[in-house]
Structure 1
Amino acid sequence: MENYTKLKDLVASIEGDAEKFFNNGNSAAGTRVRKGLQEIKTLAQEIRNEITATKNSAK
């Protein structure tokens, strides 16, 4: 559950940069959004692995 909370915080943290990129065309903000999305992808995969391990250990 800790990683899920981190995931939600990470999504919230890139929201401002996403607005700057899409609304104002700030390319540096776009780079920060892309970096944040990569971190989200990695964290989401970790959460998937935790869920699978927990599910399999319950059997």
Structure 2
Amino acid sequence: MNAFENLKAFIAGTEKDANAFYQKGNKSAGRRLRKAYQQVKTLAQAGRNEVSKIKNKKS
């Protein structure tokens, strides 16, 4: 559950940049948002690994 909480917190922290880019057209915020999307991918993979590890441990 730790990986899931990390992902939720990260996405919540990115909301300001998302609003600045989509609503105001701020290009710097768009750059930060693209970087954040890449980090989300990494965090999601860590979550998948965590779930698999727990699932395989119980089997």
Decide: shared fold, TM above 0.5: yes
Distance 1:34 1:19 in 2: 13
Q: How many residues align?
A: 59
CA RMSD of aligned residues (A): 0.8
Q: Structure 1 residue 12 and structure 2 residue 12: aligned? A: yes
In structure 1, runs of 5+ residues without a counterpart are none
- Larger RCO: Structure 1 or Structure 2 (Cα < 8 Å, ≥ 6 residues apart)? 2
Distance 2:56 2:23 in 1: 45
Residue matched to 1:58: 58
Q: Is residue 18–residue 29 contact of structure 2 (8 Å, CA) maintained in 1?
A: yes
The percentage of counterpart residues that share the same residue type is 44
Distance 2:28 2:40 in 1: 19
Runs of 4+ deviating beyond 2 Å: none
> What TM-score do the two structures reach when normalised by structure 2?
0.92
Give runs of aligned pairs for residues 1-59 of structure 1, distance below 5 A.
1-59=1-59
Distance 2:45 2:52 in 1: 11
